[in-house]
Amino acid sequence: MEKSTLRLLDANLNRLKEGIRVVEDIFRYKYNNKNLSLRLKELRHSARLDFDTNALLNSRDIKNDVLKTSIESEKIRKNLQDILLANFKRAEESARVLEECLKLEYQAKSTDFKNLRYELYELEKLAFLSLETN
């Protein structure tokens, strides 16, 4: 697999897991919601690429990332719900990138990320419904 493709997969896998972790920790520590926290943790742990870890690490090129500087809208969050929404969307979008790119050579893994994305949609709905009842 080309180094640039590995770089794309590595970045999106990291973004996916980071987004899930932010949401997981908010529901764990702020809301003490064991059920949602556990489901998010399990989902985060299921987000894996069975590639050589060194190949993924070696593909990273943070120094030359053309969009590593945040845009203004990424720096502003009004409240915890904004943070939750931004991180759910970040994770969902990354799952979609992984799903699409893996279709080229790894169809089964692509399906795994599609299923993961749909699970995120469901968890997002449950998460925001649970906030309404608190």
Segment 63-74 mean pLDDT: 67
Say how many residues make up the chain. Answer: 134
Q: Which domains does the chain have, with CATH numbers?
A: 3-60+70-133 (1.20.1260)
- Convert the pLDDT of each residue in 79-117 to its tens digit: 999 999 999 999 999 999 999 999 998 999 999 999 999
Q: What is the chain's mean pLDDT, rounded?
A: 90
Q: Find where tokens 């649970």 sit.
A: 130
Q: What are 131's two structure tokens?
A: 């906030």
Say what the pLDDT of residue 116 is.
Answer: 98
Torsion angle (degrees, nearest 10) of CA 121, 85, 113, 64: 160
Q: What's the rounded Cα separation, in Å, for the pair 132 and 27?
A: 14
The model's confidence at residue 67, banded by pLDDT at 50, 70 and 90, is low
CB contact set of 107 (below 8 Å; sequence gap of 6+) = none
Say what the pLDDT of residue 132 is: 86
HEC sequence for 114-134: HHHHHHHHHHHHHHHHHHHHC
pLDDT at residue 130 tops 90: yes
Task: Pick the closest to residue 20 from 86, 65, 72 (CA basis).
Answer: 86
Question: What pLDDT is stored for residue 70 in this prediction?
Answer: 67
pLDDT confidence tier of residue 54, bands split at 50, 70 and 90: confident
Q: What is the pLDDT of residues 27-52, one digit of tens each?
A: 999 999 999 999 999 999 999 998 87
